[in-house]
Amino acid sequence: MMNRMIRPKRLANGDLIGIVAPASPVAREDVERSFSFLEQLGLRYKVGQSVYKRNGYLAGSDEERLADLHDMFRDPEVKGIFCAGGGYGSARYADQLDMELIRQHPKVFWGFSDITYLHTAIRQGTGLVTFHGPMLASCVAKDEFHELSGKMFGQLFTPVEVHYSEAISPLETLNGGVAEGEMVGGNLTQLANSLGSEREIETNQKLLFIEDIGEEPYKVDRLLNQLRLAGKLREAVGIIIGDFAKAEPSNPDKTLSLDEVFDHYLANLGKPVVKGFKMGHCEPNIAIPLGVKGRLDANEKTLTILPGVD
């Protein structure tokens, strides 16, 4: 069943933000270092009960992390939800998300990386537009956090189009043309992990965005081939290649380059494909809304995305 698109209400000065850690543990000092940035934005904040918990490679149990998420959506005072970090673990409870609760209490939801699984599940389960953007402990708190990454939070307060051109970073066209469609995607590993599940990424007539970290070329090859075999590359109207950080091969003498892998899977699809977007595990990390219409012009090397808030 298709869900009607829901844009969350824009944030305003003085609004309360809920901070959650849906996946791996985050350092308390890093979360607290991000508070001054939130204050500069004019936001108040409350920290979820499981954010500082540690359960091996998870921030508390699945039940605790899910309860945090539900509590933040349920709380009428909380106007937006920011993820403290990613890592691993969001998919472990994605089948237990209360879609009716989220649909009845739509609000800004912001994060990336492992959070991709939640973006996909929430968007496809409710129609809510969510935001792929830098997280508080893993990005905002770091010394290298870029001024432009910070400015991208402004789209939560004023409905503005996101416009990406080579003024931000060099871009390379793998295949020309112009395509329009709903923006979907995120972390390539999480997109591949969704295949065969109830939360499987839907790419038909969509603009598919991909990024990842720590995956050397043969692993990116495997992930893209999985999407290819599932028809996801064929169904998309265009492909946006974001940042692939720390992708150096462990054996440089016996490998294809990342560019060769992208060329093999994406250059001959007969649809617009552009790479080089600073979106993902990088600085700056250009935040984008998912679930609204975008326009990829591979000839002019531009990406324009409609506002994500109402």
Catalytic machinery residues: 113, 211, 281
Nearest to 214 by CA among 188, 233, 191, 240: 188
Alpha-helix residue ranges (DSSP H) falling in the chain: 28-33, 35-40, 62-74, 99-104, 116-126, 147-151, 188-193, 217-229, 232-235, 258-266
Is-cis flag, bond preceding 249, omega within 30?
Answer: no
Nearest to 276 by CA among 144, 173, 129: 173
d(CA 237, CA 52): 41
CA torsion sign for 35, 38, 44, 50 is negative
Nearest to 181 by CA among 123, 240, 237, 241: 237
Helix-helix angle 258-266:217-229, to 10 degrees: 10
d(CA 67, CA 70): 5
Backbone angles phi, psi at 265, to 5 degrees: -90, -25
Residue 59 has which token pair?
A: 């921030």
Helices (H) and strands (E) in the chain, counts: 10, 14
**Virtual CA dihedral for 149, 93, 225, 229, nearest 10 degrees?**
-130
3 state SS of 309: coil
